[in-house]
Amino acid sequence: MELRWELMLESVNPLLKGTLITLELTAGAVGIGIVIGLFMALMRLSNSRILRGLSIAYIDFFRGTPLLVQLLMVYFALPQLLNFQVPDNYQFIAAITAMGLNSGAYIAEIFRAGIQSIDKGQGEAARSLGMTQGQAMRHVILPQAFKRVIPPLGNEFIALLKDSSLVSFIALQDLMYSGKLIVSRTYQPFVIYLEVALFYLAMTLILSRFVNYTERRFGKSDNR
């Protein structure tokens, strides 16, 4: 079959619409993951055995099982388990929920490593000035830890962006699913999937440059 390269130009608009959904989905999932990850990291580092156990169980489950399985569980199994009426936009809700929960487990370990990398003397000095342990964590340790975790957080964002292609399994019209629809209509898988790959490549390169810029920016502010 002859390759129809002109389809690349004709497919730009529908693929751009899918790209927008992919970016919204990934950004929302990372936002959810950051909130969950921070709480899970603090629970993992707490003195309570119960909180540590809950955090470890959560992290081990979501890091030890495939994202695709988690996505299918949220999309198909959760409505059946809780017996609720599925809303019209449940595909997006299920996708962002599953990706956010998955990302939270990885970000929890990123935050935990960042917090533990801060010298213990920082917290002791803050407490000697009259701060509580919570105040020391919020005002002294976390701001420093956040600067150190920017590179791995950026890598998690990029990894999740690429993994978002799995949502095509639940027919959410992201970039990957948009490409599938065009292929089913044109029978040009090489041309279309190559274009989809280039879209993903462009997004990951832009994100990588942004992460590098942010890292350098924070690095300069630390050296002043």
Summarize pLDDT for 6-59 with one digit per residue, the tens. Answer: 999 999 999 999 999 999 999 999 999 999 999 999 999 998 999 999 999 999
Give the whole-angstrom CA distance, residue 130 versus residue 120. 16
Report pLDDT digits (tens) over 153-182: 999 999 999 999 999 999 899 999 999 999
Q: Which tokens hold the place of 151?
A: 């590179």
Per-residue pLDDT averaged across 88-110, rounded?
95
Answer yes or no: is pLDDT of 222 > 70: no
Under 8 Å between Cβ of 118 and 126: no
Q: Which tokens hold the place of 124?
A: 């002791």
DSSP annotation of 216 reads H
Provide the pLDDT for residue 181. Answer: 95
Can you give the pTM of this predicted structure?
0.89
Per-residue pLDDT averaged across 95-113, rounded?
96
Report pLDDT digits (tens) over 70-79: 999 999 999 9
Per-residue pLDDT averaged across 134-144, rounded?
83
Answer yes or no: is pLDDT of 140 > 80: yes
Provide the pLDDT for residue 126. Answer: 78
Q: Which residues contact 199 (CB under 8 A, 6 or more apart)?
A: 15, 19, 175
Whole-number average pLDDT of the chain: 90
Looking at the chain, the whole-number percentage of residues with pLDDT higher than 70 is 97
Q: Which residues contact 149 (CB under 8 A, 6 or more apart)?
A: 110, 111, 113, 114
Greatest Cα-to-Cα distance within the chain, rounded to the nearest angstrom: 75
Give the whole-angstrom CA distance, residue 137 versus residue 147. 14
Provide the pLDDT for residue 189. Answer: 94
Domains of the chain: 7-223 (1.10.3720.10)
Is residue 172 classed as helix, strand or coil in its secondary structure? coil
